[in-house]
Amino acid sequence: MQQLTNRSVQVNRAPMTFGEKIYIPAIMKGLSITLGHIFKKKATVSYPEQKRPFSPVFRGLHVLNRDEEGRERCTACGLCALACPAEAITMEAAERKPGEENLYREEKYAAKYEINMLRCIFCGFCEEACPKDAIYLSETVMPANYTRKYFIYKKEDLLIPHPKKQESAQ
């Protein structure tokens, strides 16, 4: 039979020697590897006291951004929901009413914006698809919980605090 690649190895089918039959050398070799690992530096981290450094490309919780004047950047175009492969983002658009110019940048805004974090795969496609830089993935780790309702983040949970209201409160 002709070989397809050069990676094949011929198997040695010779009978085992007495030393190989009693498995003592194999056991000693395994024990030496185990003893070698005992004296190496441990890979575990004592979590509450020490925090593991994250990769620079780590993607954490989603955040809805505001502009310099504190208005919401999201125009409810729906590109983030279309780009999401897990279909974790749902939104409903509404039109801005007279007198709400200080709340929203454009005539259209997201009246309802939800992300189901149980479906989210943290791929970052929503961040890349947004033309207004309204959504980005922060470096915050998602908190653990036991109930499903805490993993559906609404618009109020995702929006960063209003910068002007925050300054006046201090």
Q: Summarize the annotated binding site for [4Fe-4S] cluster as residue ranges.
A: 74, 77, 80, 84, 120, 123, 126, 130
CA separation for the pair 34, 24 (Å, rounded): 15
Q: What is the DSSP string of 16-78?
A: PPHHHHT-HHHHHHHHHHHHHHHTSPP----TTTS-PPPPTT----EEE-B-TTS-B------
CB 142, CB 118: distance < 8 Å = no
Q: Report CA-CA distances (Å) from 155 to 3, 52, 72, 134.
A: 60, 30, 11, 12
Angle in degrees, CA 61, 63, 69, rounded to 5: 160
- Annotated binding-site positions: 74, 77, 80, 84, 120, 123, 126, 130
Indicate the DSSP class of residue 15. P
CA separation for the pair 15, 162 (Å, rounded): 78
